[in-house]
């Protein structure tokens, strides 16, 4: 995991002020299909939030609700402290202080780069407008291309113009809908880093919609995972990855396997043996599922073991091993690139020491002992 | 948006309502039965005729290569520029009793030689088939070239010969296109009531016209209009039926497809002759004849060129065409823009409503507008405005314009919409989020980007309006004449030499959209070659 890209929430962000963006209980239905259901989320000023989820999870609808391109059926949307949509009011998109950046960039083909950027500044006096256009074009390092037309630019340059155009009117929030997915793989990382740098530099609040988990984790100060119109989890990237709130988050944000397990007297056991101790669960006797990520699973060759390797995939830096357990369940394990156990090798499976794996009861993660009050799904062993 | 939809729907609704209200009240004209039969006969005849000529030619140029084929492929579209009411009178002048053909026959075989009656149903069928076949030709050709070359190849590799592949694969695949072409042809046939009158053929549309112009019998005319509308609905239903549940859209797919087999020797030249014959009969010969007459007329009396009436009528045509084109395009842009800015089912429904005027025969639109204006007059009178607005009498140029807009809004919208479709929705959203009001989006983003579509729409509608005859004939106030009406009146009185010059003007104007079509045909050609 690209640890150097994971940044702590910035100290430069003005704290204690009004959140830049608030959604409270926002729902949107199309006929009988629910696109977004009772979504709550906030973005602090200067914060960069990523909305991630599979296609159809409602993330783009959420963005369109903020932009005013859709009218919520229920709930309140506030931008920079101002209510822009609730049961009675609805502010048209042109009156909202939001900037939009789309996957296809949506630059106006009949206007030059400078005219594109100036489009949202029509209420400004001419000299001020020209100064602002120059300023934002410098920000994205495209000052020298001001006179070009969009079709004369590369994909990366077009993306930067789109960002400059969205930033020019100093919006309270910049919304980005899969802004990098139309770019080549090789170009994407660079453009992404540039974009994030510009947003940080200007202290702009940003909301970025993506279906790419890695992008969501590496870019966001906070990651909001959506599924079927609901927010499954909203946390810092490390927390989302290490402590997923649900089965869905665990499997969508990175690879994960699930094994039925049992907690008894603070001891977590499953098919591969004792996984760890769980302090605070001393008086428990409960069935759970344990979440195991491939980097948490260790393998050692052991002819006596009933588990064996069924497939090996070479990924360059790592080698992914698929291991079938006696029960028929499979686990995945990342091994360093030099390690390669042939298919059929009997291996002993353990959990890397020091890991506190996530436990699920049903589809939700549990952090505190569910049996402390004797009301959880306990079982008398 | 709703206003536009209501405006467009009013004439048709008016016809249906007053038709239904007047059931049993008005006396239907005598000979209604034979009118219906004649209409059926004409539509069937022209349908079969265009299918044979258009479908046959499309097959010929696709399945075979022969001398001059590459030029003929697109030249065969030309007869589209020849309105039937012009080809009709040229045809009559050539083949009627006093024409050169019968004269020659008489001089060879004596005065008693039997010739078929030219002013008859078969005569009308031949003339209309010759001008309308390009619809079927174009759509069939497109279908044959574009429909999945891979499918044809698959059929051949499965052991089907050329003929079997044609009958079992290509023809069934082309069926929806043929149905679409045929329905266009039948609509045009149904709408016409000028050409058929040269041939003494009395269809239901002729009935509407004669009843209205002859006796101003509102109810009878209305009921006949309802009948015409029923025919139109039947044509549309027929098209749906022929298309069936199948959706034949097999675009793409690489493959050789149907390759033109080389015809050599007399067979090759025979094919060339066939194609040239259709082209000659539908365009070259009549244009030559018109030129001959026009030149003769001008030489014998040069003042014809500066005839005040000519200038006057031409101005009328151009003014009506320009106003119609501007109105249609303005409405089309408003519809496209409003749709783009979002809006619910209501707006979308209204947009669909606006385009159905094209499927309504001109006679029905005309009568509908008359009824609507009459009702409006009554309403105003009952509100205390003496004499109403007199719309029915004085406002008929307005009526013509209104009818034209109802009728031609669909092609205008299609052209403009094609341009709108090329603007990604995200562009509109970006403009919105940058604080642009709907008006600013229209002037700064949408209009500049749909300019090509606007230009095409203006040209298409203006030309259609210059060519149009039935609606002007029906609605024109006394003393208001356009070029198309002039041609028709002169031709009816057998002043063919005098009709030639204005007829040529109309043909010249009508060639413009055909030239646009040429480009499309050639694109299809190139694609066909590339694969």
pLDDT for A11 beyond 50: no
**CATH topology for B1-28+304-492?**
MetI-like fold (1.10.3720)
B423 inside 8 A of chain A by CB = no
Which of these, A254, A261, A257, lies nearest to A237 by C-alpha position? A254
| Contact check, Cβ <8 Å, A106/B434 | no
Q: Give the nearest partner residue to B424 out of A92, A104, A171, using CB atoms.
A: A104
- Answering whether pTM is above 0.90, one says no
pLDDT recorded at residue A32: 85
* Higher-pLDDT residue of A237, A6: A237
Longest Cα separation, chain A = 81
pLDDT at residue A10 above 50? no
Give the pLDDT band of residue B229 (cuts 50, 70, 90): confident
pLDDT value at A381 more than 50: no
Averaged over A268-295, what is the pLDDT?
86
- Residue A114's pLDDT band, with cuts at 50, 70 and 90, is very high
Domain assignments of chain A as residue spans, ordered by start: 3-97+171-251, 257-366
- The mean predicted confidence, pLDDT, of chain B is 80
Query: Does residue B208 register a pLDDT over 60?
Result: yes
Mean pLDDT of B473-484: 83
Q: What pLDDT shows up at residue A123?
A: 86
Q: Beta-carbon neighbour count of residue A15 at 10 Å?
A: 11
Does residue B30 have a pLDDT over 80?
no
Task: Tally helices (H) and strands (E) across chain A.
Answer: 8, 21
Averaged pLDDT, A39-60 = 92
The pLDDT tens digits of the residues spanning A53-76 come to 998 899 999 999 999 888 899 999
What's residue B45's pLDDT? 94
Do the Cβ atoms of A169 and B435 come within 8 Å?
yes
Inspect the interface and report whether the beta carbons of B429 and A94 lie closer than 8 Å.
Answer: no
> What is the distance between the alpha carbons of residues B128 and B88, in angstroms, rounded to a whole number?
8
Q: Which residue of B422, B424, B431, B434 to mutate against A (max A Cβ within 10 Å)?
A: B434
Q: Average pLDDT of B71-85?
A: 86
- Total beta-carbon pairs less than 8 A apart between chain A and chain B: 69
Map B484-507 to HEC letters.
HHHHHHHHHCCCHHHHHHHHHHHH
Q: Which residue from B427, B432, B435 is facing A108, i.e. has the nearest CB?
A: B427
Q: Going by C-beta distance under 8 Å and a sequence separation of 6 or more, which residues neighbour residue B230?
A: none
Give the SS3 label for residue A33.
strand
Report for A168-177, B193-202, B219-228: range of highest mean pLDDT = A168-177
Alpha-carbon distance of A36 to A26, in angstroms, equals: 7
Mean pLDDT computed over every residue of chain A: 87
What's the pLDDT score for residue A308?
Answer: 92
Q: In terms of Cα–Cα distance, which of A308, A299, A295, A305 is closest to A354? A: A295
Q: What is the 3-state secondary structure (H, E, C) of A277-316?
A: ECCCCCCCEEEEEEEECHHHEEEEECCCCCCEEEEEEECC
pLDDT at A145 over 70: yes
Same fold, B1-28+304-492 and B31-101+108-300: yes
Question: Which of the four pLDDT bands, split at 50, 70 and 90, describes residue B329?
Answer: very high
Mean pLDDT for A143-152 is 92
Examine the pLDDT at B271 and tell me if it is beyond 50: yes
Q: Looking at CA atoms only, how far is residue B64 from chain A in angstroms?
A: 42
CB neighbours of residue B383 within 10 Å:
8
Distance from CA of A65 to the nearest CA of B (A): 12
Per-residue pLDDT, averaged over A16-31, amounts to: 87
The listed range with the strongest mean pLDDT (A221-235, B105-119, B182-196, B291-305) is A221-235
Decide if A9 contacts A222 (C-beta within 8 A).
Answer: yes
Residue A8: predicted pLDDT: 37
Contact A234, A50 (CB under 8 A): no
Least confidently predicted of A365-374, B74-83, B306-315:
A365-374
Banded model confidence at residue A378, pLDDT cuts 50, 70, 90: very low
Lowest-confidence pick of A11-20, A72-81, B278-287: A11-20
Interface pTM, i.e. ipTM: 0.75
- Residue A16, pLDDT above cutoff 70: no
- Please tell me which of A224-228, B18-22, B310-314, B449-453 the model is most confident about, judged by mean pLDDT: A224-228
Give the best residue of A31, A66, A73, A94 to mutate against chain B (max B CB count within 10 A).
Answer: A94
Contact B444 A119 (CB under 8 A): yes
Task: Give the pLDDT mean for B276-301.
Answer: 87
Least reliable range by pLDDT among B225-229, B286-290, B388-392? B388-392
Contact A106 B342 (CB under 8 A): no
Asked whether the predicted pLDDT for residue B161 surpasses 50, the reply is yes
Per-residue pLDDT, averaged over B428-455, amounts to 89
Q: Å from A214 to nearest chain B CA? A: 25
Q: Across the interface, which of B432, B434, B448 has its CB nearest the CB of A169? A: B434
Helix (H) or strand (E) segment spanning residue B314: helix B308-340
> Using one digit for the tens of pLDDT, what is the confidence trace for B359-411?
777 778 888 888 887 777 777 777 766 655 555 544 568 888 888 888 888 88
Domain A3-97+171-251 of CATH type 3.40.50.300: yes
Kindly tell me if the per-residue pLDDT of B150 is higher than 80.
no
Given a cut of 60, whether residue A195 has pLDDT beyond it is: yes
Counting residues of chain A whose pLDDT is more than 70, the rounded percentage is 92
Give me B275's structure tokens: 């194609």
Q: Which residues contact B530 (CB under 8 A, 6 or more apart)?
A: none
Percent of chain B with pLDDT over 90: 9
In this model, does residue A83 exceed pLDDT 90? Answer: yes
Chain A residue whose CA is closest to B435? A94
Cross-strand bridge partners of residue A43: A21
Give the model's pLDDT for residue B22.
62
Determine, for residues A106 and B433 on separate chains, whether the beta-carbon distance falls below 8 Å.
Answer: no
Q: Which residue has the higher pLDDT, A356 or A136?
A: A136
Instruction: Tell me which chain A residue has its CA closest to the CA of residue B438.
Output: A94
Q: How far is CA A274 from CA A47, A261, A304, A353, B295, in A?
A: 41, 9, 18, 11, 107
Residue A227 has pLDDT above 50, yes or no: yes
- Provide the pLDDT for residue B240: 75
Does the domain at residues B31-101+108-300 carry the CATH identifier 1.10.3720.10? yes
Would you state the pLDDT for residue A5?
A: 37
For residue A257, pLDDT beyond 90: yes
Q: Who among B426, B436, B448 is closest to A110 (CB)?
A: B448
Q: Do B435 and A67 touch (CB under 8 A)?
A: no
pLDDT for position B359: 73
Q: Does B444 touch chain A (CB under 8 A)?
A: yes
Q: Domain-by-domain residue ranges, chain B? A: 1-28+304-492, 31-101+108-300
Residues forming a β-bridge with A264 = A267, A285
**Taking each helix axis from N to C terminus, what angle separates A185-202 and A155-167, rounded to the nearest 10 degrees?**
20
Of A233-242, A336-345, B250-259, which gets the smallest average pLDDT?
B250-259
Contact list in B for residue A67 (CB cut-off 8 A) is 429, 432-433
Q: What is the pLDDT of residue B408?
A: 87
CA distance B306 to B250: 56
CA angle A227, A231, A235 (to 5 degrees): 120
B434 close contact with A: CB closer than 8 A = yes
pLDDT of A3 above 50: no
Highest-scoring range by mean pLDDT, B26-30, B112-116, B443-447: B443-447
């Amino acid at each position: 995991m690209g640890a150097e890209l994971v940044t702590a929430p910035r100290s430069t962000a003005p704290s204690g002020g009004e959140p830049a963006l608030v959604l409270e209980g926002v729902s949107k239905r199309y006929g009988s299909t629910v696109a977004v259901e009772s979504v709550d989320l906030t973005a602090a000023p200067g914060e960069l939030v990523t909305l991630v989820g599979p296609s159809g999870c409602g993330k783009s609808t959420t963005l369109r609700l903020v932009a005013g391109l859709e009218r919520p059926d229920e709930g309140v949307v506030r931008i920079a402290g101002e209510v822009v949509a609730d049961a009675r009011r609805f502010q048209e998109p042109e009156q909202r202080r939001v900037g939009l950046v789309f996957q296809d960039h949506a630059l106006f083909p009949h206007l030059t780069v400078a005219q594109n950027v100036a489009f949202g500044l029509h209420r400004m006096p001419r000299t001020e407008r020209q100064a602002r256009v120059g300023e934002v074009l410098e920000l994205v390092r495209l000052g020298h291309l001001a006179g070009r037309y969009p079709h004369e630019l590369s994909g990366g340059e077009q993306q930067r113009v789109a960002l400059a155009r969205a930033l020019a009117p100093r919006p309270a929030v910049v919304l980005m809908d899969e802004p990098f997915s139309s770019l080549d793989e090789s170009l994407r990382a660079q453009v992404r880093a540039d974009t994030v740098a510009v947003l940080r530099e200007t202290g702009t609040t940003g909301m970025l919609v993506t279906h790419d988990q890695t992008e969501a984790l590496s870019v966001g100060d906070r990651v909001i995972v959506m599924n079927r119109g609901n927010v499954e989890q909203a946390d810092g990237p490390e927390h989302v990855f290490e402590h997923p709130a649900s089965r869905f988050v665990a499997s969508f944000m990175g690879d994960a396997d699930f094994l039925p397990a049992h907690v008894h007297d603070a001891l977590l056991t499953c098919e591969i043996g004792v996984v760890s101790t769980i302090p605070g669960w001393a008086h428990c006797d409960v069935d759970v599922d344990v979440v195991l990520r491939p980097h948490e699973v260790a393998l050692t060759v052991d002819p006596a073991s009933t588990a064996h390797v069924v497939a090996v995939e070479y990924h360059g830096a790592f080698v992914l091993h698929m291991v079938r357990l006696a029960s028929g369940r499979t686990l995945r394990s990342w091994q360093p690139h030099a390690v390669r156990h042939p298919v059929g090798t009997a291996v002993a499976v353990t959990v890397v020491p020091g890991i506190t794996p996530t436990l699920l009861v049903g589809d939700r993660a549990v952090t505190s002992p569910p049996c402390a009050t004797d009301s959880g799904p306990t079982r008398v062993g | 948006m709703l206003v536009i939809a209501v405006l467009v729907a009013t004439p048709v609704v008016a016809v249906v309502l007053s038709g239904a209200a007047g059931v049993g009240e008005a006396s239907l004209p005598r000979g209604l039965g034979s009118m219906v039969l004649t209409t059926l006969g004409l539509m069937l005849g022209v349908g079969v005729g265009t299918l044979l000529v258009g479908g046959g030619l499309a097959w010929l140029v696709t399945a075979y290569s022969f001398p001059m084929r590459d030029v003929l492929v697109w030249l065969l579209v030309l007869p589209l520029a020849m309105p039937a009411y012009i080809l009709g009178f040229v045809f009559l002048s050539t083949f009627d009793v006093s024409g050169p053909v019968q004269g020659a026959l008489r001089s060879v075989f004596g005065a008693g030689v039997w010739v078929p009656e030219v002013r008859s149903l078969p005569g009308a069928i031949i003339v209309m088939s010759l001008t309308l076949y390009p619809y079927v030709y174009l759509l069939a050709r497109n279908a044959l070239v574009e429909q999945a070359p891979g499918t044809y190849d698959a059929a051949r590799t499965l052991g089907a010969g050329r003929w079997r592949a044609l009958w079992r694969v290509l023809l069934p695949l082309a069926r929806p296109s043929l149905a679409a072409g045929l329905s266009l042809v039948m609509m045009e046939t149904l709408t016409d009531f000028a050409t058929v009158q040269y041939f003494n053929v009395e269809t239901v549309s002729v009935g509407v016209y004669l009843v209205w112009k002859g006796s101003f019998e509102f109810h009878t005319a209305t009921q006949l209009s309802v009948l015409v509308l029923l025919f139109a609905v039947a044509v549309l239903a027929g098209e749906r039926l022929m298309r069936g549940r199948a959706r034949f859209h097999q675009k793409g797919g690489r493959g050789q497809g149907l390759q033109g087999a080389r015809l050599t020797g007399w067979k090759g030249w025979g094919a060339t002759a066939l194609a040239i014959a259709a082209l000659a009969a539908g365009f070259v010969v009549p244009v030559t004849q018109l030129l001959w007459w026009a030149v003769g007329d001008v030489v014998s009396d040069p003042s014809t060129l500066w005839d005040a009436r000519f200038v006057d009528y031409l101005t009328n045509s151009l003014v009506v065409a320009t106003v119609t084109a501007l109105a249609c395009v303005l409405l089309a842009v408003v519809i496209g823009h409003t749709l783009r800015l979002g809006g619910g089912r209501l707006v979308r429904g209204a947009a669909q409503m606006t385009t159905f005027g094209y499927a309504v025969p001109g006679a029905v639109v005309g009568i509908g507008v008359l009824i609507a204006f009459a009702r409006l007059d009554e309403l105003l009178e009952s509100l205390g405005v003496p004499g109403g607005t007199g719309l029915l009498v004085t406002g008929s140029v307005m009526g013509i314009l209104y009818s034209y807009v109802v009728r031609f809004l669909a092609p205008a919208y299609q052209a403009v919409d094609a341009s709108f479709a090329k603007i990604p929705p995200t562009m509109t959203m970006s403009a919105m989020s940058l604080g642009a009001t709907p008006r600013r989006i229209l002037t700064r983003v949408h209009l500049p980007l749909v300019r090509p579509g606007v230009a095409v729409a203006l040209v298409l509608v203006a030309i259609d309006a210059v060519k149009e005859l039935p609606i002007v004939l029906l609605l024109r106030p006394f003393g208001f004449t356009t070029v198309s009406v002039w041609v028709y009146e002169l031709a009816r009185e057998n002043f063919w030499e005098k009709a030639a010059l204005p007829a040529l003007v109309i043909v010249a104007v009508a060639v413009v959209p055909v030239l646009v079509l040429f480009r499309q045909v050639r694109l299809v050609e190139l694609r066909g070659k590339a694969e």
